């Protein structure tokens, strides 16, 4: 499969959304993650929202040359490795819950899980915690619900009521 305009567009979109190359490759289909990475570089959008990443590791091996054919044109030399520090001073999520990731989750941020931990869109609530506990006010109520919920509520109803918090 080639890079049609649509596929390139989707690639850009998914890459900007932070999906990994392999995930994008799977979603596109017909390409490997190497192909995706290669395309990403060719498009010139290698960098994205990647906080606190050295962006560039130390100088790699001087390129001892692997078992290949004869050399040709001189390649460009490694650059001085400029990096852009990304300050991210612990912000609480006051508006929409579920935007805190495991990386941005601070000490006093609600640790109520949002979504499926197995998925990569998994987040935490992230709002300011309720004084002491690990959860915000809303989720603390849910978390510390004794046995008040019994009555005639069926298992299905209970599951549905809880789903609201996931």
Q: Which stretch binds DNA (CB under 7 A): 59-67, 94-102, 121-129, 152-160?
A: 59-67
Q: Which CB sits closer to DNA, 17 or 94?
A: 17
Q: Does 61 bind DNA (CB under 7 A)?
A: yes
Query: Assign residue 81 a region: left if phi > 0, alpha if psi is -120 to 50, beta otherwise?
Result: left
One of 5, 29, 49, 65 touching DNA (CB under 7 A) = 65
- Comparing CA positions, the residue from 40, 2, 33, 14 lying closest to residue 121 is 14
The residue within the footprint of DNA, chosen from 27, 32, 145, 153 (CB under 7 A), is 32
Asked if 69 interacts with DNA (CB under 7 A), we say yes
126 in Cβ contact with 149 (< 8 Å): no
105 to 66, 99, 101, 131: CA distances (angstroms)? 43, 9, 6, 16
Binding piece for DNA, criterion CB under 7 A, among 36-44, 82-90, 128-136, 154-162 = 36-44
Could you say whether residue 84 binds DNA (CB under 7 A)? Answer: no
| Distance, first Cα to last Cα, the chain | 38
**Rounded Cα gap, residues 70 and 139, in angstroms:** 64
Q: Which 3 state secondary structure label does DSSP give 160?
A: helix
Question: Applying CB under 7 A, does 109 fall inside the site for DNA?
Answer: no
- 164 belongs to the binding site for DNA (CB under 7 A): no
> Distance between CA atoms of 38 and 47, rounded to whole angstroms?
13
Considering the complex, what minimum distance in angstroms separates the CB of residue 23 from DNA? 5
Closest CB 121 distance from DNA, rounded Å: 13
Contact positions vs DNA (CB under 7 A): 1-3, 19-23, 31-35, 37-42, 46-47, 56-58, 60-61, 63, 65-66, 68-72, 75-76, 78
């Amino acid at each position: 499969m080639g890079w049609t305009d649509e596929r390139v567009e989707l690639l850009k979109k998914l890459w900007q959304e932070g999906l990994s190359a392999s995930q994008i490759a799977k979603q596109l289909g017909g390409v490997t993650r190497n192909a995706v990475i290669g395309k990403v570089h060719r498009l010139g959008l290698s960098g994205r929202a990647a906080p606190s990443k050295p962006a560039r590791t130390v100088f790699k091996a001087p390129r001892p040359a692997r078992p290949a054919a004869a050399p040709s044109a001189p390649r460009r030399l490694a650059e001085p490795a400029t990096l852009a520090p990304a300050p991210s001073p612990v912000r609480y999520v006051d508006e929409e819950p579920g935007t805190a990731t495991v990386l941005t989750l601070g000490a006093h941020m609600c640790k109520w899980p949002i979504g499926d931990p197995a998925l990569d869109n998994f987040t935490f609530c992230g709002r300011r915690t309720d004084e002491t506990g690990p959860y915000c006010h809303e989720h603390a109520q849910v978390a510390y619900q004794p046995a008040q919920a019994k009555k005639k509520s069926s298992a299905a109803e209970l599951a549905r009521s809880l789903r609201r918090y996931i």
